[in-house]
Structure 1
Amino acid sequence: MKLSPREATGYFARPEPDRAGLLIYGNDAMRVALKRQQAIAALLGPNAEEEMRLTRLSAADLRSDPAALTDAVKARGFFPGPRVVFLDEATDALADRILGALADWQKGDAQIVLTARQLPPKSALRKAFEAHPDAYAIGIYDDPPGRPEIEAMLAEAGLGTVDRAAMGTLLDLATALDPGDFRQTVEKVALYKLDDPAPLTPEDVAACAPRSTEAEADALIHAVAEAKTAEIGPLLRRLQAQGMTPVTLCIAATRHFRQLHAAAADPDGAASGINRLRPPVHFKARDRMVRQAQGWGMHRLEQALGLLLDTDLQLRSSQRAPQMALIERSLVKLAVLASRRP
């Protein structure tokens, strides 16, 4: 059976122990791993490793021993309780061996939990798990966690009441951090509030959030795109003090201007182009980037990308010019270009 993202959030929190299998697949290995960890922990509870109720297999194990998965699923342990056989990096090349074990599965056997990279709809593994009446297939996508998923994380971490403003702060933070960092932040917030019965507030979240240069880097690039030349120097000095490298800044600026170019070139207009970008642009920056794309126009954005490409080549070359001065000069040139009327 196939579960939608909304259904999957509830299932990961309370998976069904009497099912034959669970296939979790997606492009982002970290997101997939976090969901797999959550599902197995909910299925087996604590001490599963010590009680040998969790068996781990790799793709290499299955390639060298075609019966390894079936044998592990059928094996009986010394300790009572549910059992799981976890196979990482499953692929369609191993589908016949995996699906053979799934076909042989009976009540009382260990549940088969698989993780895989992104699987197309025609994938043999994905089709088999989606069609199986006693197994689930769940795709993990690159969208940031939504409110239900964050609420589940908070409950798992032992946090109770969360006011609306704090949830808004967490939603914003979820779009800025990768999944592993965000989960660690939630766990840190839970420890921070361990002996505090008051509801979670935005200030609590801010106190635990990792200090990141990304927001200031975004502010710098927006200033460049909006011809705010006077803001470039101070923002650049601040980023330099925080350890941001010129090459990283150049990469970030190039990514931003490529997004603007894609939006400006969209036949349905810049707003449609921004909405089609993947990964999606955060809603707080969407209108701002639409205005930037419309103001620059496709041809001037091509000029901007050419300048950034030249800058990137110079930064990576063996020339001895000060790199921060080089990127600052290029950003100022872009801001001047933005100030000219098309």
Structure 2
Amino acid sequence: MCVSPPEHLSIHHSKLVQSAETIVLAVAIGEEPLDPSNKATVAKALEGMEYLKRSTSPRANAAISSFLERPRAKFRVIKSIKGNADAEIVLVNGYLRDGLSTEAHPRKNKERHHDFNGHTSGKFWHRQITRQGNDTDCRMWPQFDLRKQYLLFPDREHYRSYEEVKHEGDKWLNAVTQLVGNPGLKAGLTVTVKDWLSMVEGVFIGTVVEASGPVLSVDHILHGTFDDKWWYLPQNAPSGMSGNWPFWGERRDNSLGEQFLVISYDPEPPTTVYRTATVLKADGSGVFDFKDVFNESNAEVIGNPFQRLADLKEMFQ
């Protein structure tokens, strides 16, 4: 189990673009085994497997041989965004997908089957949810679909190094291209406060009507679709996540009547809302502080991070 993923997997995308030697738009065309005579390729593939490399047991040697013999994903380069690449490349840590379907495994695999609506979704920009995550060994072993197109960072293992790109207007492709052309930019995507909020599934103002849960009444929908009541499940929430509900696991009857702004990133059942929603509490003057969530976003937000309820309502009239 990867308890603490290495920092390089989640550095800001501006640093990812700056550090990458090669960035390509490429289509998956098949598989090809690694060249065992290429020492650099073999060393790259075996990174993090010191426990196997140190072992002299036949089982360890067999495991290494089997691992190296497994064919890797092969791509035809459509366009070099940064650096120079061969017409065809083999991704040392990449594989063609093993046939698991979104329908059979909706929770586990749904991100790897789409492009976040051309990467316009707040899930990708605000919540750091990407097509591929790290494996239990803290490395990236991305899977790809044959004949689909991807924006690849072949020399950089990162959560955003293997995103699917379906068209030239894709926001992730445009953001990376901008940063290659102008490395001084703070981010590849700049948005207003309204744009930032419009990128999510929905936003509403709610009031705590049941302290146990807690349960909120949906008082005013800024945009999106919600039922009359919405609840947040404290047992599902990891500690330390910025923007979390402020009293996980506690029953606080004095919370009744408190007002919150809920930013929902995904139209899923409440059992998964802990990773796809942010809850902000209004201060005594009815002002919501977006500073932390804006800072955590991969998009640069232009505008006042302190927003009054009246201003938010007017913004979405």
Settle same-fold status: TM greater than 0.5: no
Return the structure number with greater helix share.
Answer: 1
Sort the TM-score into its range (normalised by shorter chain): under 0.3
TM-score (norm 1): 0.26
